[in-house]
Amino acid sequence: MDKTVLITGSNKGIGLATARELGSRGNNVILAARSQQRVHDAADALSREGINADPVELDVTDSTSVSAAVHHVTDTYGKLDVLINNAGIAMSDGSGNTSELTRDTMHRVFETNVYGVLTVTNAFLPLLHKSPGGQIINVSSEAGSLNVAGREDTPLADIQAGAYGTSKAALNMLTIAYAKELRSTPISVNAVSPGFTATDLNGRRGIRTVEEGSQAIVDLAVMENDVPNGTFRCDGRIDFLGDTVTVPW
């Protein structure tokens, strides 16, 4: 079944790679990003590849912008099959130590990575309820896993969570909360980690391409039957959120 998919933060990086792959499979892809020019440029690029890409200006931190996007999707499609909360930022202060982290930086990161997901998800829920099998996919990270953060045998052993990891831990719990609320409905809610992917967010230090990073997101988005709920997914493995996850790099 061709699906209508909205992806936040999809003018570049993992979001754009996800849109390209889903669009190449015949799905209706709605590119959503806060820069009107950049999201239109990205949609034009995909259109030249024969992909049906619909650009929508959407700032996850602005409720007015979110409402306008909801109205557009309502008027154009009448429903939403998959919401991919991909937009995210990473910031730090000083040398990156937790003791140097400021309230302002923490707030700015949470505003996008957590509050933004809450705002967008709640706004689009009525449209997801109109889908025969709606999906909410939150793009998370092992950096937000309490188990991984506390282990000494992973590449994250000496890395402080900071604002980014703390926000992803909150996002994981938010995912569980939505999954519990919606488990008696056709809507599933899951978190997905793309792994350490080279994007602007990490100064392109990642060891994966955006195509590799988007694969787990795509695999979940195209599922038709037996879609999991309340899980953390990475590299084709599905682990219940809160359990130890296997770090894929």
Q: Residue 72 class from Cβ within 10 Å (0-12 exposed, 13-18 middle, 19+ buried)?
A: middle
Per the residue annotation, which of 77, 168, 178, 180 is the catalytic one?
Answer: 168
Q: Is 3 a catalytic residue?
A: no
Per the residue annotation, which of 3, 79, 115, 164 is the catalytic one?
Answer: 164
The type of residue at 196 is F
Question: Tokens 């099998």 sit at which residue?
Answer: 133
Distance, in Å, from the CA atom of 174 to the CA atom of 136, rounded to the nearest integer, reads 12
Distance, in Å, from the CA atom of 148 to the CA atom of 172, rounded to the nearest integer, reads 13
How far is C-alpha 121 from the geometric centre of its chain's CA atoms? 11
Q: Residue 157 class from Cβ within 10 Å (0-12 exposed, 13-18 middle, 19+ buried)?
A: exposed
Distance, in Å, from the CA atom of 211 to the CA atom of 132, rounded to the nearest integer, reads 28
Distance, in Å, from the CA atom of 118 to the CA atom of 114, rounded to the nearest integer, reads 6
Complete DSSP assignment for 116-128? HHHHHHHHHHHHH
Q: Is 164 a catalytic residue?
A: yes
Distance, in Å, from the CA atom of 161 to the CA atom of 204, rounded to the nearest integer, reads 19
Give the catalytic positions in this structure.
Answer: 164, 168
